Each structure stands twice: as structure tokens, then as C-alpha cells.
Structure 1
């Protein structure tokens, strides 16, 4: 098993699209026991976009939109080994009010010396904190962009969304709800990406 990251360590989340890096975000390790990896992206964290590549599905949409840094209170991510989704948590406002659970369909994390590699699957499930149930997000976008981004994987990604929805419908919430009350260490500030982040070896799906 890969040695877990220590709390406070920099963890680089890279997305690998069609065999090459697409975006990278430096995050901070909150918890890592080898099975559950929890990372935090402080507001102001920079986005890294590779300079070189073939970009078979085009550049990352955030780059095309001119986004260079994470905004707001930051994002907490819960990742499980071998699981094809993560759970994101968001907060807003001066009181840092919890907004809800965002179940992000993505590649199961593949550990690297600097963090982990994954790929967002576009399709998501959002359960607002004040809502009785959830809703699927970006369904049309997934159907439009998915065949090029995830060739041969559309059915399995849809199946993962259905599996998550079935567990939610059954009241089977598999993550610790107390993360909603979590607050970051006030000394944690945005981290820098290592200079070799785009060339560090990676595995593709």
C-alpha cells in the first residue's frame, strides 16, 4: 500500500484526459488512512494547465473560461480507494454556512508520489443541505461530451450514477456527516504546484 499522506501535506489532484494531463490543483491533506483520503482546496488555490499536449477533446473548460484559481471558502473532498466517485463539501457566506453534498462521479483515485490522478465524469449528484432529496446535475452535458471524453465508458458511468441514487433512495448514506462541521486550519494557505507536475508519470484509464 502507498504510504499515506500526512495531515497538512500538499496533495496534487491531477485529471488525466485521454492519456495526458488536463488540469492540476494543489490541495492539502486533511486525513489519509490508506482507504479514505480527505483533501482541502483553499480559496485562491491555483489551477495548473499543461502547456503541451494534443488535447483530443480540447482544453479544459475552466481554462477556456479564464479561471485561474479556486474561489470562495474552499472545497473539501472525500475519496475512497477503488470508488468511482467522491463527495465534495461546500460552504458559503460570512458565517461559512454548509451548502450540501456534491457526489462527483470520477475515476477512482490513482495514487502518485505527489498526490493522486483521476478524471471528472461530468455527471454529478447534488443534495443541498436544506433539501429533502437530491438531483442529478450536468446530465445533458455528460451525454454531449461523454462519447469523446470517455469512449466506451458511458454505460458504466451511468450505472455508477444509478447505483449512487439507489443507495441514497434507500437511506444508505456511506460518509460521515460530521464533515459538514469541519473547519480548516487557519494557517493553511494555497499551495504551489511542483514544477514537474505535468511530466510526472501517470496511468491512463
Structure 2
């Protein structure tokens, strides 16, 4: 089946699959999609939905444990490339909606579904603040502690992706358009709902 290409304004459900189980679903808005680069936006107030049941061999999603039920703030923009094991998040803050920086979120390359795409956050991240001269790695300790259970057999692969991102940044190579920092959402875009039955939509397990 040909993977779906989404239209601007269409709801796109970002779903994380952990060890063969749906872990979380976040309904986003399609900004643009050409089949290779999928750009999505999570408006402030967007619900974060968790499965009602499961085995959860590594525990329920940490955001659920923390009581997080809705996205806060100005929203989050995400750039996803086909076959690439990270996405790029953009954040804004304050009354002037000031750009905060580039967040390279290591995660499974997007696997498209009829309602959106599946992925899995790898916890290890690279953050380059807008006012900083260079980047920094984040959540390194947490990744090393939880990774063997969450991503068995994949730790070295994930570390290698983080190192690849660092090499590209050190070389001054940009694989995204920095103009996204000035992007603003359509004022009509309100938080979306996750469709009923989201847990039962077929998925691939890594």
C-alpha cells in the first residue's frame, strides 16, 4: 500500500510504539508534506493520549506518570525526514513568541500509517539554543540507564546517530531551512482529537 501523503491542515497522529505496544498518541496538524519531509505542528492545549491497557514491560509513558495530559505553551513544530532516525523540533516562548532553538530529537524514522505516523523517542537528544555558540547533548545519563530495556540491541546504533548529527553540525552542514525559526501557525488551527480506535491501527514493531 502506498504510504499516505497529508494535506496542510489535516490531522496527523504521532504515535509512539514501545516494545510492540502503543505508548502514546499526539494529534498534530500537517504543515506540509512532500512524501519525504513531513512537517507537523502541535498546538498548545493538544491532548496527549495514552493506551487504556497493556503489558508495558518498561513501564507506562513517563509523561503519563508525570500527569501530563495536554501540551503547554506556544506549540511545537516538528520536521520529519523519511528514513532518518531523528526529527527536528522547534520551540518558542514568552509573550513575543521568541524562538528558543533547535532540538534534534533522536527517534525511529517515521513509519506512516493511515492516520499519521509511528515512531519511538530514543531519549538521547542534541540541543542547540538560539543564543548559544554550539550544541549540547541532553539526557545522556537517562539514555544509558533506560536504553538497554527500551531499545535492546539498538544502543550503539542510537549513539552513532547522535555522533553523526554532531559531526554534521561541527562541519557547519545544515540539512534544514533555518527560516522555520520565523514560522508562525495558522491562527485557525485548534487542538485536534485522537480518533477512536487509535490503539488498534496496525503498526510495525522494531
1:123-169 Cα distance to aligned partner (Å, 9 max, x none)? 00000001100000000000000000000000000000000000000
Provide the residue aligned with 1:85 in structure 2: 86
Provide the residue aligned with 2:44 in structure 1: 43
Q: Give distance in 2, aligned partners of 1:65 and 1:162.
A: 30
Aligned positions, number: 205
Provide the residue aligned with 2:183 in structure 1: 182
TM-score (structure 2 length as normaliser) = 0.99
Runs of 4+ in 1 over 6 A off after TM superposition: none
Shift in Å at residue 3 of structure 1? 3.2
1:22-42 Cα distance to aligned partner (Å, 9 max, x none)? 000000000000000000000
CA contact (8 A) 2:26 2:47 kept: yes
Q: Give distance in 2, aligned partners of 1:2 and 1:109.
A: 11
Q: Give distance in 2, aligned partners of 1:143 and 1:2.
A: 34
Shift in Å at residue 2 of structure 1? 2.0
TM-score (structure 1 length as normaliser) = 0.99
Is 1:10 aligned with 2:11? yes
Q: Give distance in 2, aligned partners of 1:71 and 1:198.
A: 24
Secondary structure in 1 aligned to 2:202?
coil
- What RMSD in Å do the two structures reach over aligned CA positions? 0.5
Secondary structure in 2 aligned to 1:198?
helix
Please show how residues 1-205 of structure 1 align to structure 2 within 5 Å.
1-205=2-206
Secondary structure in 2 aligned to 1:147?
helix
Which consecutive unaligned segments of at least 5 residues does structure 1 have? none
